[in-house]
């Protein structure tokens, strides 16, 4: 957003806060939803994480210093909320990281809002065995077409490193899908 | 002198990383293959989810703010609690400092001592042990004048005639 500064001021000012926040919701709900959904996989978890994200955004608007762009700040909150939710679920079920992947796959199979074919389920399995950072880069680049420049801002990593991560991820997934 | 004419510049100065072209080909092919196999994630959302989500979030925020009013950490309670603790401390200090005050026989009423002596079970030996030897000075006997009358009384009442005879 080009007029980021002006928008942030409106978000912070008590008189314009409510209206600006609603604009923010309209503007980002879908993008953040898909970002979250690709991390947590099931719709119900995504719904929870999305609501928590926006509530956290609202509560922390006054602390937002504008050091990074508004959208990358929100993406970071969404990422943290999603990863926290997964960890919380794992803790609740007393399962380790590997079992969490199985849990997510099963969750996905049971999710009425996943109408994937076998190949799509396999793609998700391939993504889940990647390291966390590669998962994030792949999901944001492959499904959401986020530019490397913006990715670099969100994940606080250099563009070069992100490109390398992405290509490694694509290669691994491609290998996983063709292995049998 | 070397002339920097256009026809003498053979290269543009642009360079590419080592093995760039072989790598970029593999990367593009990988991605194209993957996109051919599976382009979409298969994730769906409930009908009109995005239309209702804004309302839910705004409502949730309102609920949270309303809940905030009934704060678990109430200042009133804190003030009462600290007042109670302060009062207890003051009371404790008072009790401890008061007990450390030295009690003297002067501060006791004579009647209390008399009552104590009457009621408590003690022997004359115990009483005698409280008296130091210095107090039993010979002068007490020589200097104290005993009237003849009291001496007579004492002898009449307390002594047997046998005692006087044996001595």
CA–CA distance, B50 with A34 (Å, rounded to integer): 11
What secondary structure letter does DSSP report for A114?
B
Q: How many helices (H) and strands (E) does chain A have?
A: 9, 0
Residues A22 and A107 in one domain: yes
Nearest to A166 by CA among A128, A122, A130, A120: A130
- Domains in chain A: how many in total? 2
Record: contact B42-A114, CB cut-off 8 A: yes
Give the largest CA-CA distance in chain B: 164
Same domain, A105 and A127: no
Please report, for the domain that includes residue A89, its CATH number: 1.10.1740.10
| Whether residues A15 and A98 fall in one domain | yes
Q: What is the mean pLDDT of chain B?
A: 77
Shared domain check, A99 and A15: yes
Tell me if chain B has a CB within 8 Å of the CB of A88.
no
Domain co-membership, A64 together with A142: no
Claim to verify: residue A62 and residue A103 sit in the same structural domain: yes
Last residue within a domain, chosen from A81, A115, A149: A115
Distance from the Cα of B80 to chain A's closest Cα (Å) equals 31
How much is the pLDDT for B1? 52
CA dist A4 → A20, A30, A116 (Å)? 12, 19, 38
Interface test with A, best of B31, B33, B38 (most A CBs within 10 A): B38
Query: Domain of A159: which CATH number?
Result: 1.10.10.10
pLDDT tens column, B43-64: 888 988 998 998 989 888 888 8
A25 in the same domain as A7: yes
Reported confidence tier of residue B103, pLDDT bands at 50, 70, 90: low
In a shared domain, residues A101 and A146 = no
Per-residue confidence in pLDDT tens, chain A, 180 aa:
456 888 888 888 888 888 999 999 999 999 999 999 999 988 999 999 999 999 999 999 888 887 888 999 999 999 999 999 998 988 888 888 778 888 888 878 888 888 877 888 899 989 998 999 999 999 999 999 999 999 999 999 999 999 999 999 999 999 998 886
Task: For residues A155 and B126, give the distance between their C-alpha atoms in angstroms, rounded to a whole number.
Answer: 91
Instruction: Among A115, A132, A151, identify where a domain stops.
Output: A115
Cβ-contact A34, A143 below 8 angstroms: yes
Q: Which of A80, A115, A150 is the endpoint of a domain?
A: A115
Secondary structure of residue A101 in the 3-state scheme: helix
Query: Which domain covers residue A101, as residue numbers?
Result: 1-115
> How many CB atoms sit inside 10 A of residue A24's CB?
22
Residues of A in contact with B40 (CB under 8 A): 120, 143
Can you spell out the DSSP letters for B41-95? --B---TTHHHHHHHHHHHHHHHHHHHHHS-SS-HHHHHHHHHHHHHHHHHHHHH
pLDDT of residue B164: 67
């Amino acid at each position: 957003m080009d007029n980021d500064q002006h928008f942030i001021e409106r978000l912070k000012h008590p008189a314009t806060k409510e209206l600006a926040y609603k604009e923010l919701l309209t503007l980002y709900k879908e993008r953040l939803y898909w970002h979250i959904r690709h991390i947590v996989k099931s719709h119900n978890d995504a719904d929870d994480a999305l609501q928590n994200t926006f509530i956290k955004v609202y509560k922390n608007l006054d602390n937002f210093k504008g050091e990074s762009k508004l959208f990358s700040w929100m993406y970071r909150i969404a990422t943290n909320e999603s990863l926290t939710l997964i960890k919380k679920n794992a803790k609740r079920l007393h399962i380790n990281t590997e079992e969490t992947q199985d849990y997510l796959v099963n969750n996905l199979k049971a999710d009425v809002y996943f109408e994937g074919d076998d190949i799509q389920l396999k793609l998700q399995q391939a993504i889940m065995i990647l390291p966390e950072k590669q998962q994030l880069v792949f999901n944001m680049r492959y499904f959401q077409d986020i530019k490397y420049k913006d990715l670099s801002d969100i994940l606080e990593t250099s563009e070069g490193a992100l490109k390398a991560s992405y290509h490694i991820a694509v290669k691994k997934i491609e290998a996983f899908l063709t292995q049998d | 002198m070397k002339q920097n004419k256009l026809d003498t510049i053979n290269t543009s100065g642009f360079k590419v990383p080592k093995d760039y072209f072989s790598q970029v080909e593999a990367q593009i092919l990988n991605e194209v293959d993957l996109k051919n196999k599976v382009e979409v994630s298969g994730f769906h959302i409930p009908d009109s989810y995005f239309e209702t989500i804004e309302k839910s979030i705004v409502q949730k925020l309102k609920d949270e703010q309303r809940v905030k009013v009934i704060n678990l950490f109430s200042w009133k309670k804190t003030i009462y609690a600290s007042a109670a603790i302060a009062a207890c401390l003051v009371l404790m200090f008072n009790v401890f400092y008061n007990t450390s005050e030295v009690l003297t026989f002067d501060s006791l009423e004579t009647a209390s001592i008399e009552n104590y002596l009457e009621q408590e079970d003690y022997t004359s030996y115990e009483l005698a042990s409280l008296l130091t030897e210095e107090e039993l000075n010979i002068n007490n006997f020589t200097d104290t004048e005993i009237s003849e009358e009291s001496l007579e009384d004492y002898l009449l009442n307390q002594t047997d005639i046998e005692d006087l005879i044996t001595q």
